[in-house]
Amino acid sequence: MKQPTTFKSIYTLFSVLLVGQVFLAVVIAFLIPELEIDNVLRFTQRSMIVLATLVGAGLASFLVYRRRIKQGASLTGLPVKLEHYRASNIIRWAILEGVNLLIIVIAFLEIYPRMLWFLAPGLAIFLRTSPSKEGFINDYQLTAQEQSELG
């Protein structure tokens, strides 16, 4: 029997994805020789590409999520809406995490530690997508009965 989706499971998934990104970045930071602090704010061509990709991923995840919640608001029943919300967030997080992992991989493969500085805004965008009951209620236009079922 399939376990019903709960808000706790959605938040646990978000937390695991976030911790995984941070853990991998810390490990890579220790594997790359001396983290150079000088010229951190100097933008190279590589930096501009990563920055554009990061902004594009943030925008893409926002647009995909908005399109999906429009579809989800027309669904009936809390379990169906909650499952749709979970799937919508997984898609959103996959886009954002993909770019963050790309930043980490580029920093490691090219031995370019300054690239890890771009992880900060990437993680900030990821944190901004944290699941919340209030967001779910507003995005999916839950009825009073569905809100009481949610708890």
Q: Which residue has the higher pLDDT, 108 or 137?
A: 137
What type of residue is 110? E
Q: Flag the least confident range among 41-45, 56-60, 64-68, 144-148.
A: 41-45
| pLDDT at position 114 | 78
Percent of the chain with pLDDT over 90: 56
**Rounded Cα distance, 143 and 96, in Å:** 31
Name, in order, each residue with C-beta under 8 angstroms of 44's C-beta and a sequence gap of 6 or more: none
Percent of the chain with pLDDT over 70: 91
Average pLDDT estimate for 29-37: 69
Average pLDDT estimate for 75-85: 91
Average pLDDT estimate for 130-151: 90
CA Rg, the chain, in Å? 18
Name, in order, each residue with C-beta under 8 angstroms of 11's C-beta and a sequence gap of 6 or more: 130, 131
Q: pLDDT at residue 39 above 80?
A: no
Q: pLDDT at residue 36 above 90?
A: no
Q: How many CA atoms lie within 13 A of 123 on its CB side?
A: 16
Q: Which residue has the higher pLDDT, 49 or 94?
A: 94
